[in-house]
Amino acid sequence: MLRCHHKDFGGVTNSRWRLCVLSTRLDEALDVSLNRMTAGAYPRYLQTALDDTIGPTPGGHRRLEKDKKAYGLGREVSIGVVNGNKPLFDGGGLGPDLTTGTTEELHELWVLAVSVFSGDKKNKVLRKISRLELLSIWDYAGKIWYKGMSKCEIDSLIKHRIMSPPSKILTAVCFNIFQQLLQRMLPATMHVISADPTTTGDNQQPLGPMELKGIQRAKAALADDAGVELSYWALPNETEQQTMARHLLRVFAHIWWVYNLEREANAWLLANGNHPKDREGIEDCLRRAAGSDYWDWHRGSRLFFWRFPTECGWQADARDGVEFWHLTDPPKGLHFQNIPASCREAELQLRAKVFQLKFRWYLEKGSPDLVTPRFPVEKVADEQGKVLDIRCVWDAKRNGLNDTLWCPSFSLPTTRCAEDLVVKWLSIPVGDYLRGGSPPQDYSLDQNLMRKSYQFDLDVAQQFNNYQMHKKERHSHGVRFISTRNDGSVEPQTFLQCSVLNFGCVCSPYVATQGQERIMELCEGNPSDASNPFQYSECWLNLPGSLTYDPSMPRVILLRTDGEMATKRVTFVDDIHGASRGTDEDPAREASRRLAGKMNYYGNQDAARKRGPPTLIPRPWNGFMTHTDTPYPVKGTTAKKWNRGRAGLNWIWQQLEIPDGTEDPIAYIDSLKGWDVRLDTAELRRISGLWIHLTETYREGRCFLKGFFNALEAFRNDRDLDGWRLQVSMDNCQALEENDASRHEALAEYPVLTRVTYQLVLHVRALRRLFDSEEPRVVPIRPTEMVKLRYAAGDASAEGFAQAVQYPELFIDERDGLWLPEMAEKSSNLREAQNIGNHLLRDIKAGRHNGCEIWQATDNAVWSAVCNKGMSSVRHLFDLLVEIKIACHEHQVFYHCFHISGDRMIATGIDGMSRGDRDSGISLGYDLRKFLPLNIGAFDYPDHQLEEWCRGWMGDDFSPPRTPIQWFNEAHKPGVHIIAPPPAAAVYALEEVAKGRHKRPQYVTYVILIPRLLYQEEWRTKFQKEVDVWFPLLTGPDLGYSGWKGTKWWDLEGPCLRCQKRVTFESGIICANYGVTRGILYKECNSMWCAGCFVPSKLDPCDIALPEDFAGATIEELGEQERFMQARP
- What's 398's DSSP letter? T
| Residue range 471-500, pLDDT digits in tens | 999 999 999 999 888 887 888 899 999 999
Convert 637-665 into a string of H (helix), E (strand) and C (coil): ECHHHHHHHHHHHHHHHHHHCCCCCCCCH
What is the reported pLDDT for 1041? 46
Contact indicator for 37, 10 with CB cutoff of 8 Å: no
Taking all residues of the chain, what is their mean pLDDT, rounded to a whole number? Answer: 83
What is the reported pLDDT for 1116? 41
By DSSP bridging, strand 779-780 and strand 634-637 are antiparallel
| Residue range 942-968, pLDDT digits in tens | 888 888 889 988 999 999 999 999 999
The candidate with the shortest Cα–Cα distance to 115, out of 103, 128, 124, is 124
Contact indicator for 854, 788 with CB cutoff of 8 Å: no
Band of the pLDDT at 739, cuts 50, 70, 90? low
- What's 813's DSSP letter? E
Contact indicator for 295, 228 with CB cutoff of 8 Å: yes
Q: For residue 711, is pLDDT > 90?
A: no
In this structure, of 216-225, 226-235, 841-850, the range with the lowest mean pLDDT score is 216-225
Q: Which residues have CB under 8 Å from 35's CB, separation 6+?
A: none
**Which is more confident, 225 or 693?**
693
**Which is more confident, 284 or 1116?**
284
What is the reported pLDDT for 729? 61
The structure's pTM equals: 0.73
| Residue range 70-96, pLDDT digits in tens | 445 666 778 888 877 788 888 888 888
β-pair partners for 977: 1006
- For the residues of 683-752, what is the DSSP string, one character each? HHHHHHHHHHHHHHHSGGGGGGGHHHHHHHHTTSTT--TT---HHHHHHHHHHHHHTT--HHHHTTTS-S
Contact indicator for 693, 641 with CB cutoff of 8 Å: yes
What is the reported pLDDT for 138? 86
Across 342-362, average pLDDT: 88
What is the reported pLDDT for 1113? 41
| Residue range 768-819, pLDDT digits in tens | 988 988 889 999 999 999 999 999 999 988 778 999 999 999 999 999 888 8
Q: For residue 41, is pLDDT > 70?
A: no
* Burial class of residue 538 (count of CB atoms within 10 Å of its CB; 0-12, 13-18, 19+): middle
Going from the C-alpha of 22 to that of each of 25, 33, 176, the distances in angstroms are: 10, 15, 14
Q: Say what percent of the chain tops pLDDT 70.
A: 83
CB-based burial, 607-621: b 16+ in 10 Å, e otherwise: bbbbbbbbbbbbbbb
CB-based burial, 210-220: b 16+ in 10 Å, e otherwise: bbeebebeebb
What is the reported pLDDT for 878? 80
| Residue range 315-350, pLDDT digits in tens | 999 999 999 999 999 999 888 888 887 778 888 888
Band of the pLDDT at 26, cuts 50, 70, 90? low
Report the distance separating Cα 853 and Cα 869, nearest Å. 19
Q: What is the dihedral of CA 883, 884, 886, 892, to 10 degrees?
A: 160
| Residue range 106-163, pLDDT digits in tens | 888 888 888 877 766 678 888 888 888 888 888 876 655 676 688 888 888 888 888 8
Report the distance separating Cα 768 and Cα 646, nearest Å. 7
Band of the pLDDT at 363, cuts 50, 70, 90? very high
Q: For residue 650, is pLDDT > 60?
A: yes
Report the distance separating Cα 279 and Cα 822, nearest Å. 84
Contact indicator for 799, 917 with CB cutoff of 8 Å: no
Task: Identify the three-state secondary structure at position 976.
Answer: strand
Task: Please provide residue 16's backbone torsions phi and psi, each rounded to the nearest 5 degrees.
Answer: -125, 140
Report the distance separating Cα 73 and Cα 68, nearest Å. 12
| Residue range 1048-1085, pLDDT digits in tens | 666 778 888 888 888 887 778 877 677 766 555 566 77
Task: Identify the three-state secondary structure at position 603.
Answer: coil
The candidate with the shortest Cα–Cα distance to 553, out of 702, 412, 432, is 432
Dihedral sign of CA atoms 651, 653, 655, 658 in order: negative
Report the distance separating Cα 442 and Cα 480, nearest Å. 65
Q: For residue 382, is pLDDT > 60?
A: no
What is the reported pLDDT for 195? 39
Task: Identify the three-state secondary structure at position 991.
Answer: helix
* Burial class of residue 227 (count of CB atoms within 10 Å of its CB; 0-12, 13-18, 19+): exposed
Q: Which residues have CB under 8 Å from 1026's CB, separation 6+?
A: 411, 990, 993, 994, 997, 1006, 1008
Report the distance separating Cα 203 and Cα 192, nearest Å. 13
| Residue range 521-574, pLDDT digits in tens | 999 999 999 999 999 999 999 999 999 999 999 999 999 999 999 999 999 988
